[in-house]
């Protein structure tokens, strides 16, 4: 197998997928495989030699109603990739996260009877909501690469081929990491206390959640003028968007905010900002797993289009939304969802974490979970994928 060039299609839709994608690319090459990668990738993957047919941002749409607005564009991208791989097939297609797009793309590839093996890397939350999707996954996906063992167990009940590969960050991020070093890395004053505000990396999220975090910051700044705020921007477009929002706030608050734009191909500004923060307030999503692995006290929040939320609420089968709580099976961090996601409640939850004892209890729980994730039996994703070609 190492004697012939492999061709692998990958599609990612956001920064966390780009991070997993570039690590997967490196793993293939480190194990001696000659691989050509193409599809839709982010800046990290492109810097590694990935051939991206479309910009990653084209898939950065969240929510049922929100997706409907862009459905024609998304269908055109899907059809474009199918047409390309019909003429010149890849050996394997790996959809990383972005399940609403990637599962449909896999279905389209199977419908054409193309000689392409299909993989979904990062399981959609079928164990949490819309469990009926598992039958579609069984019909169109040859292998699911799960981040967590409990996901693999779910798929086994339905005879869906799945392996638990763990999250690469669990082993990459140390169990002990210095907040002072992290502050210095970003050029922050180590004598100051910082609150990280992460409204998300997508345009729609910043539009919807940016005012929420800035309003909460304004409440806290008046009460605790010694605290500073750090906000990451994944690129210049997101930085300009946040700067536009800041124009509506007083100078006293703006002076306390450090808006930091990503400057390297690793796209790790969000992780750096969380690591340098004494408290983290972030949009619910895969970034909560990074915050867990950094062991920073946190509160999470999210707001969807009201119709999307009502539909989702009817389908959700578990009591929690955030990965730390789902993994723990209990409430470890506070979740402010939809009507609970107000500036007043967010500020109050951040204020609770200013209490060192309260913060330390949460930190110890996160550290314990990190150790459990490290101890979980996980397989090598490269070897798991290659079994499909044997």
- Look up the domain containing 112 and give its range: 6-168+377-389
Residue 48 domain-assigned (yes or no): yes
Residues 12, 91 within the same domain: yes
Question: Domain check: are 95 and 206 in the same one?
Answer: no
Is the domain of 139 the same as that of 181?
no
pLDDT of residue 214: 98
Structural tokens at position 219 = 């409440």
DSSP-assigned beta bridge partners for residue 162: 144
| 197 and 217 Cβ atoms separated by less than 8 Å | yes
For residue 308, tell me if it sits in a domain.
yes
- The answer to whether residue 273 sits within a structural domain is yes
Query: Is residue 96 assigned to a domain?
Result: yes
CATH of the domain at 59: 3.40.50.2000
pLDDT of residue 315: 60
Residue 95 to residue 21: CA distance in whole angstroms: 9
pLDDT in tens, the chain (390 residues): 445 689 999 999 988 899 899 999 999 999 999 999 999 999 999 999 999 999 998 886 655 445 556 678 888 999 999 999 999 999 999 999 889 899 999 999 999 999 999 999 999 888 766 677 899 999 999 999 998 888 898 999 999 999 999 888 888 899 998 999 999 999 999 999 999 999 988 888 899 999 999 999 999 999 999 999 999 998 999 999 999 999 999 999 999 999 999 887 767 899 999 999 999 999 987 789 899 999 999 999 988 766 766 666 666 666 777 889 888 888 999 999 988 999 999 999 999 999 999 999 999 999 999 998 887 768 999 999 999 997
* pLDDT at residue 1, as a whole number: 44
Kindly list the strands in the beta sheet with 257-261, ordered across the sheet, starting from the edge strand earlier in the chain. Answer: 257-261, 227-233, 193-198, 279-283, 298-302, 334-337
On whether residue 186 sits in a domain, the answer given is yes
Rounded distance between C-alpha atoms, residue 193 and residue 195, angstroms:
7
Assess whether 231 and 130 both reside in one domain.
no
Whether 186 contacts 193, CB under 8 Å:
no
1: in domain: no
Q: Are residues 162 and 222 in the same domain?
A: no
pLDDT (0 to 100) of residue 67: 54
- 298 alpha-carbon distance from chain centroid: 16
- Whether residues 303 and 285 share a domain: the answer is yes
Q: Can you read off the two tokens belonging to residue 263?
A: 């400057």
Co-location of 336 and 225 in the same domain: yes
| DSSP bridge partners of 322 | none
Of residues 212, 215, 371, the one with CA closest to residue 300: 212
pLDDT value of position 317: 64
Instruction: Say yes or no: 215 and 135 in one domain.
Output: no
CA distance 144 to 42: 22
What backbone phi and psi angles, to 5 degrees, belong to 368?
-60, -40
Q: Kindly report the CA angle at 171 between 141 and 41, in degrees rounded to 5?
A: 45
Are residue 34 and residue 88 in the same domain, yes or no? yes
Q: What is the pLDDT, as a whole number, of residue 318?
A: 64
Looking at residue 91, what is its pLDDT?
Answer: 97
| Gyration radius of the chain over CA positions | 21
Alpha-carbon span 118 to 136, nearest angstrom: 13
User: What is the count of structural domains for the chain?
Assistant: 2
Kindly state whether residues 381 and 370 are assigned to the same domain. Answer: no
Do 132 and 79 share a domain, yes or no? yes
Same domain (yes/no): 262, 356: yes
In a domain, 163, yes or no: yes
């Amino acid at each position: 197998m190492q004697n012939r060039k492999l061709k692998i299609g990958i599609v990612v839709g956001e920064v966390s997928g780009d991070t997993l994608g570039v690590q997967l690319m490196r793993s293939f090459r480190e194990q001696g495989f000659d691989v050509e990668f193409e599809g839709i990738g982010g800046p990290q993957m492109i810097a590694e030699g990935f051939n991206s047919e479309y910009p990653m941002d084209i898939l950065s749409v969240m929510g049922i109603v929100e997706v409907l607005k862009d459905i024609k564009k998304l269908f055109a991208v899907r059809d474009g990739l199918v047409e390309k791989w019909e003429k010149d097939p890849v050996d394997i297609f790996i959809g990383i996260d972005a399940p609403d797009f990637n599962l449909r793309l896999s279905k389209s590839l199977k419908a054409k009877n193309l000689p392409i093996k299909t993989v979904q890397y990062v399981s959609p939350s079928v164990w949490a909501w819309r469990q009926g999707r598992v039958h579609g996954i069984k019909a169109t996906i040859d292998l699911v690469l799960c981040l967590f063992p409990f996901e693999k167990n779910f798929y086994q009940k339905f005879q869906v081929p799945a392996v638990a590969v763990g999250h690469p960050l669990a082993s990459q991020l140390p169990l002990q990491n210095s907040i002072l070093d992290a502050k210095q890395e970003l050029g922050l004053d180590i004598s100051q206390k910082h609150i990280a505000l992460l409204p998300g990396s997508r345009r729609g999220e910043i539009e919807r959640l940016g005012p929420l975090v800035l309003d909460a910051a304004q409440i806290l700044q008046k009460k605790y003028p010694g605290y500073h705020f750090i906000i990451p921007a994944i690129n210049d477009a997101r930085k300009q968007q946040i700067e536009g929002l800041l124009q509506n706030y007083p100078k006293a608050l703006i002076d306390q905010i450090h808006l930091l734009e990503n400057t390297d191909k690793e796209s790790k500004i969000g992780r750096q900002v969380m690591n340098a923060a004494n408290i983290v307030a972030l949009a619910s999503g895969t970034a909560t797993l990074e915050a867990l692995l950094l062991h920073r006290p946190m509160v999470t929040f999210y707001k969807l289009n009201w119709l999307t939320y009502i539909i989702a609420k009817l389908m959700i089968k578990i009591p929690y939304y955030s990965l730390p709580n789902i993994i723990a099976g209990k409430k470890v961090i506070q979740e402010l969802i939809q009507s609970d996601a107000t500036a007043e409640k967010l500020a109050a939850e951040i204020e609770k974490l200013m209490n060192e004892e309260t913060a330390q209890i949460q930190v110890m729980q996160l550290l314990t979970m990190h150790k459990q994730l490290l101890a979980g039996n996980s397989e090598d994703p490269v070897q798991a994928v290659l079994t499909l070609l044997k």
